[in-house]
Structure 1
């Protein structure tokens, strides 16, 4: 792994999950000791990552080019979807599958996960996919607290139109003429209606817009809930720091009390012994007088 990160949070999210809590406590204490209360609060409020999130975080800290590669491919895919360039999308999608497969292997190797479960592999793959699809996820790489999952909406939401099976092409005029000659006379065709494919496209667009509205509302609610949870987590972390400080001060006070009691007992014993010496000396003086 590379050198020590400048930002304590980067240093924190670059370690294995089992080392996270102890390092978080130490870094928060160090920040508090140097008088940086804001940094101490920020560090103490950092959420411990899941195993999958930690695997991706450590890959990003190990190879800084990962973030740029994912972001670059995401931009290319969004541009291709905007222009509805089916051939370009298929080319980039193939590249995307290979890149994610390579990065998943590299991430598991970096974290020394020899036999990953299917769930862990899926979470790592899903997080890398989400980073390609969503720039906000890309920006959080390296400090993820949980695995991410691409919702299927947003910049790539129009993919279904690009890859939809084309409607059956009409037969050439000559073939149509042959069919008319072979078939008995039929009733006049009903008034022409919109092509089913156009109706389907409009319905898909309508449903997609509705889904996007629902998703946007759900994401706003989740963001608010996450913010509230982060505030409460930060308060909890601060309270734990204060509790730890109080425990440390109590331990020192108890040690000082024990030492004071021991010193008092020594002094008491010395006073008693000295009193006995004085008493003996007085008795000796009486006997000699």
Structure 2
């Protein structure tokens, strides 16, 4: 298997299985002497649930990227032509495609009842993929959901906002002015030692970033779990309230039925007393006739 195959199999896994498998694949690459592959695999970032759903979709359905790219090109052409009617038509197509792909993604991932936050992140990522070819190219390897803020002039880099950690561009980095003093040439051993220290620090930084990504992904998963649990709790409260109303209504009906039963009992007792009196009178009348 190539490193691309390893990464595809890695990003197809559930997020909770990602870290352990990543370590296994990186160790296997190091064992076979492929240091570059081991480094690339070890640097793979664990995806959030929403990112994994989109990755799973892209990895299991090879038509996703072409369909997204085709719609992107059509929308771009419509915007460049300033064809309002065509833009409106394609916007409807976009909404339908995003909804269709989101449903397919949840089905491919086996997620039957996604939390609202996860559903929003999945649809937002798919919209961003339509808007930005760079996002579309990363489908299958996403670690974070993407946000789409609207087409604007379409194709502008500002149209898509990535939730990943921002990296200050070269324009924001400043370097100290070069010293005019003649520098002494450092010893080769010192340079090698410094390079080794730098490589070790870089490895530690990569490991720290990966650990942070895992922690953030866990936070996102737990937040989605809490949201889902809260929704179920609220539904249970609604069911409980309805049951309490039913109990109150049934208790009222029971009281009414008991009052009616007591009234019927009194009626029966009155009727039985009247019957007893009638029998006694009849007996007396019958006895007087025979005497």
Q: TM-score, normalised by structure 2?
A: 0.55
8 Å CA contact 1:42–1:234 kept in 2: the answer is no
Query: Matched residues in 2 for 1:121 and 1:134: separation?
Result: 20
User: Residues 242-277 of structure 1, C-alpha deviation per residue, up to 9 Å, x if partnerless?
Assistant: xxxxxxxxxxxxxxxxxxxxxxxxxxxxxxxxxxxx
* Residue correspondence of structure 1 range 176-215 to structure 2 within 5 A: 215=158
Query: Counterpart in 1 of 2:89?
Result: 91
Task: Name the counterpart of 2:185.
Answer: none
CA distance in 2, matches of 1:65, 1:5: 23
RMSD over aligned Cα, in angstroms?
3.1
SS at match of 1:149: strand
Contact residue 60 and residue 66 of structure 1 kept, 8 A: yes
| CA distance in structure 2 between the partners assigned to 1:147 and 1:141 by the alignment | 10
> What residue is the counterpart of 1:23 in the other structure?
21
Contact 1:4 1:11 in 2 (8 A): no
Q: Report if aligned partners of 2:58, 2:65 keep a CA contact under 8 Å in 1.
A: yes
1:1-52 deviation digits (Å, cap 9, x = unpaired): xx99952111211111111111101100000000011111111111000000
Task: Say which of 27, 49, 52 aligns to 1:51.
Answer: 49
Aligned residues: 176
1:77 match = 75
Aligned to 2:168: 224
CA–CA distance in 2 between the matches of 1:11 and 1:128? 21
Distance 1:231 1:156 in 2: 39
What is the deviation of 1:141? 0.6
Secondary structure of the corresponding residue to residue 131 of structure 1: helix
Match of 2:120 among 122, 135, 140: 122
SS at match of 1:156: coil
Give TM-score scaled by structure 1 length. 0.55
Name the CA shift for 1:112/1:75 in 2 (closer, same or farther; >3 Å): same
Structure 1 residue 152: deviation in Å? 2.7
Q: Measure the CA separation in 2 of the matches of 1:5 and 1:61.
A: 15
Unaligned runs of 5+ in 2: 170-201, 212-291
Unpaired runs of 5+ residues, structure 1, are: 158-211, 240-289
State how far apart, in whole Å, the 1-side matches of 2:20 and 2:144 are.
Answer: 19
Runs of 4+ in structure 1 off by over 2 angstroms are 3-7, 151-157, 221-225, 230-239
